[in-house]
Amino acid sequence: MNRLSLTVIPWVVWWCLVGVASAVNPAENEIDSEQHDTHHPNPKAPASELFAEVDILKLINVTAKDPGVSLIEGPISKFPAYKFRLPYGNVPLPSSSVVTSVMNNTNGFTVVFVIRQQKNNLGTLLSVNSPGRITPWFQLTSNSRTGILSLKYRIDGSNKPRQLDWELPKHHRKSPLAAWKWISVSVDFRTGFVRFDMDCQPSKFDHLDPSGREDSRITIPQEALVYFRQEPGRKKIFLGSVQVAKVLPYVVDGRLWSCLQIADNLAPEFRKPLM
């Protein structure tokens, strides 16, 4: 077998497993398993083209020529990253239905971001709202002042939004999000779990429905609008840099990046993914 085959086969096998594997058991994932291989077959996967991905940066056709946008160097080499500042604003997305159809996938979906947020900024990464409505169907917001990542969503049969809050590691003395952060949120309709992965910290699992119902799901209306970096009314504008902003029409049962070690309170040299 030649060298190319040896390189390609693990990558193909991994994607096949993503598509057919059952949902991750929160008690049996890479957090506690010493046997688990924490090295992804493609460590640049978040930025490289993923199967059936919707790449928001490509969808909005962002370039350094846009007012308020600069091309910068991100943590994943040979892939572009963009710094967003005022007055840039491009809301809602020109093709919201492309994103909402992905989020309405039968089994669930995943959102992936690689970001570096400005200090003391309360910014929305992604917000899905019905026209003229402030209450979101799905909204991911990052607060670099408090160090909290918040997910707001509505499940079927309820008009009351549910909110999950995750503490972001304070790796930087000036701001918990001053450095690049690798973020993945998978919503699994098969098990009713939301999985949150960040950098090389242990995964966190929460029930989609507070009652623990396994058949809960989020159904996005066809006419819903998708906003990137801000919510309707140009509020909670994310200021900072973005290298990856993607939505995947499936649940990712393992993190998309490589880590030498996965644990809380890692030494600084082990906190970030391997490249």
Mean pLDDT of 191-200: 94
Q: pTM to 2 decimals?
A: 0.83
Q: Which pLDDT value is given to residue 86?
A: 83
Q: Which residue has the higher pLDDT, 118 or 165?
A: 165
Low-confidence winner among 12-26, 94-108, 162-176, 182-196 (lowest mean pLDDT):
12-26
Mean pLDDT of 207-231: 87
Does residue 76 register a pLDDT over 80?
Answer: yes
Q: Which pLDDT value is given to residue 171?
A: 58
CA proximity to 41, closest of 250, 260, 272, 257: 257
Q: Are 191 and 23 in contact (CB under 8 A)?
A: yes
* Residues 25-34 pLDDT 10s: 443 345 434 4
Does residue 21 register a pLDDT over 60?
Answer: no
- What percentage of the chain has pLDDT greater than the value 90? 48
Provide the residue ranges of all domains of the chain, joining segments of one domain with +.
3-270
Mean pLDDT of 240-261: 93
Q: Are 248 and 50 in contact (CB under 8 A)?
A: yes
Identify the CATH assignment for 3-270 out of 2.40.30.10, 2.60.40.1120, 2.60.120.200, 3.20.19.10. Answer: 2.60.120.200
